[in-house]
Chains A and B, each alone.
Chain A
């Protein structure tokens, strides 16, 4: 192993471990402010550090401090304390580990050596995710059972039944995906989606498998226990469901686990159905070949983007009531200066790249960065869909949930397999 190997190994594992953790903060913020905006209210935007609110992001810090400093209670009636503590750990860790097999950029070729851009460079791909996604619910069931609480047990039971019902359509949707792609390796799947259909449509999974995409997304919502399938929590019926007895950071682990699971399944939906790290119409080789042109384009687009963003900040970051010498306007000016500093720094980096090291390995590293950004943007948008759906749809009733799973999604996914296989056989 050369030094480069070790460096890339550390970088990839760090990406796989820390990006989902960073996204917890982003997603909680997106959920709370998004819910606010959807309901025409503002959401938490008051917490600040020296007057800097960062659009409400500081609220996450306050929440974290609150959760960590709260009293950590294990109720006396809990007989199996080990399992009680183990449950949130399982939920959180499984959610985090399932991200490890998702590729966040195309294979990086340095000096003829290939580096697969996954936290764990494995060929297991989708099988890894399927195995772990089913295991994540063990944490919920264990939490419900070891809480020794009626509501907890009911929540755990519901989660178990729900996962069984929805794992099957999900698996079948993936099978038809495998028929199309001919591989279980997620990197190869994403590479496949870089092609063009009829020469102008990006060959994304959602174009080839519209029905499969819908089934998979619905099943993924059920797998992550998000509305409209969050019956395991079901506040109106079960108080808080499986985590009713949990307090402090043990509850925090469930909470963070939910958001990591949301991020992971968004990442997987993006990889399977929305082209993964592929930029539409720009496959990896095209990007590498036209790296200079794309850099120039980026350098032109960055200030335009910065201008719009700065205007948006100036327009929205102010007090909506009479206030002498509005501190929020001054705050906005600091943000705008910071934004232009970042834009300038990026411009300088790109300029240095352009005049000194462009061509060869640097091009490929630039492409990796572009693809990571594309992947994260797509995943964030998919996470927004999760938030958006949560604040739009009411919860299913339990029998409706089972009916939808067994009587609608299961036959549809079987039909999807037959149709897909027939077309694939006919075309080959």
Chain B
């Protein structure tokens, strides 16, 4: 290997820097400038007042999952088990049953996602051949006071709407 070798100049050896104090005072001047400007006018702080001001979520953000539906309201999922097989955290549990709305042969009768197991990797979305599962709800904080409340069932997943339009979602690279 004959790469280009660049020798970095070692800093901190000359007297000026070994005195410490001058550099210390320069650093302290910088921090004091920030302190003073923020003390005199705290609207300059680079903070988001979180519970009141929500962050902007992009369409590519992997939020809580949802199951999509056809335009007539029937679910797209055909219970092919691709997402369950792909899931590295093993948080999806599907039970397949016979389709009753006449679209295809199969549909899930049970579709549980344990959000405490989920690592939000998005592999289920990528694996889905029917575009039936998406993570575009824009929900980034899931809270609950007991464990069972974190297991999302079929109805809850179907009921959550997407937070973005179809165009925005497609632009996000899906």
Query: Using a CB–CB distance below 8 Å, which chain A residues touch chain B?
Result: 34, 36-42, 214, 312, 315-316, 319-321, 323, 388-389, 391-393, 404
Contact = CB atoms under 8 A, between A and B. Distances in A.
A320 B49 contact: yes
B12 to A, nearest CB: 10
Tell me the dominant secondary structure on chain B's binding face: helix
A42 B47 contact: yes
Given A39-B34, A42-B42, A316-B41, A321 B49 contact: yes
Interface of B: 20-21, 24, 27-28, 30-32, 34-35, 38-47, 49, 52-53
Contact of A393 (B24, B34, B46): B24
A391 B31 contact: yes
B27 A392 contact: yes
13 contacts: A37-B34, A38-B32, A40-B47, A42-B45, A214-B21, A312-B40, A316-B43, A321-B52, A388-B31, A388-B35, A391-B31, A393-B24, A404-B20
A393 B27 contact: yes
Contacts of B31: 38, 388, 391-392
B73 to A, nearest CB: 37
Contacts of A319: 49, 52
Contacts of A40: 34, 38, 44-47
Nearest to A316: B42
Contacts of B41: 315-316
B34 A321 contact: no
A162 to B, nearest CB: 17
* B42, B44, B47, B53 pick with most chain A CB within 10 angstroms: B42
A389 B30 CA distance: 11
A393 B20 CA distance: 11
**Which 6 residue pairs of A and B lie closest in terms of their CB atoms, listed nearest first?**
A37-B38, A392-B31, A40-B46, A38-B31, A37-B35, A316-B42
Nearest to B43: A320
A388 B42 contact: no
A390 B49 CA distance: 26
Nearest to A45: B42
Contacts of B47: 40-42
Contacts of A389: 24, 28
